[in-house]
Amino acid sequence: MKRILIVLLILCAGVTKAQDNSHNLNIITAPGAYNDGFNVGVQWDFQMGIPYIGVELFHFAELNDITYNHVVLRAGVGYEIGNPVGVQWRGNIGFRGGRVFRTGHQGPFALLGLEIGAQMTLPSGLYGKLVYGRDTKTDSAIWHEDDHTVDSVFIGIGVRM
């Protein structure tokens, strides 16, 4: 019985510690899109226990032969578990909304989507993340086409501050 109480106390301490506010800065890329060239982005998140907000800047040098950039505001909910002196895990789900900029074309174009992800944080504050995003974009107007939806998988590495 004593061991069970000790384990429960450690787990509760881990969950409580894991829900502290934190700033997170990371570099992301969508490796599945490398057929169209290298891409890279930067994300900043403010995780407030369960809710989070963030900003994403993304650059794709020659997507469909036109430079692609986007600025996205992100907001959602997540939950973190783990040992306060060990590895911590966080899952999240949220909304994405922003603007797409295409070099040489009048814009900006709208972007609206959803994201779901997982993050593993080491005791040092370094972490890795995997995120699936589904965005509807209006930049296809350049080619006189209807809006299109893009499924992306992002991987990222970062540091918790």
Measure CA of the first residue to CA of the last residue in the chain; give whole Å.
38
pLDDT in tens, 107-117: 899 999 999 99
Cα angle: 15, vertex 161, 43; to 5 degrees = 100
pLDDT in tens, 114-135: 999 999 999 999 999 999 999 9
- Phi, then psi, of 159 in degrees rounded to 5: -135, 140
73 to each of 114, 124, 147, 155, 156, how far by Cα in Å? 11, 27, 20, 18, 17
pLDDT in tens, 8-30: 444 444 444 445 789 999 999 99
Question: How many domains does the chain contain in total?
Answer: 1
- Domain span holding position 28: 2-160
Confidence (pTM): 0.83
Give the CATH number of the domain where residue 92 resides.
2.40.160.20
